[in-house]
Amino acid sequence: MRSYEMVTIFQADLEEHESALTEIEGVVRNLGGEIVKSSSWGKRRFAYPIQKQTEGFYAVLTFTLDPSQVSELGRLLKLKTQVLRHLVIALDET
């Protein structure tokens, strides 16, 4: 298991941001991962439009996951219409 951090941008007009974040946490758990920390940054304005939207709701997850499952996590997040963008970064092993 390796530690990762993921920033996810949800649609700003989405009414249930917390339930969408809980759903993403469930995806990580179903892939065999464990959530270490979850935080919401709230609604932020974009520097440029993303899919014709100018604002998004940011959330950050810190979790552990098997490295072979990271690509599957990315694939599943691309299928969710409420997720505009996501970025997964591997944390240093210290």
The one-letter amino acid at 52: K
Q: Span 69-88, mean pLDDT?
A: 94
The CATH code of domain 2-90 reads: 3.30.70.60
User: Where residue 94 falls among pLDDT bands split at 50, 70, 90?
Assistant: low
- Global pTM? 0.88
Q: What is the pLDDT of residue 71?
A: 94
Torsion of CA 77, 55, 41, 14, to 10 degrees: -60
Task: Delimit the domains of the chain by residue range.
Answer: 2-90
User: Where residue 92 falls among pLDDT bands split at 50, 70, 90?
Assistant: confident
- Angle 11-77-33 from CA coordinates, rounded to 5°: 125
pLDDT tens digit string along 11-68?
A: 988 778 888 899 999 999 999 999 999 999 989 999 999 989 999 999 999 999 999 9
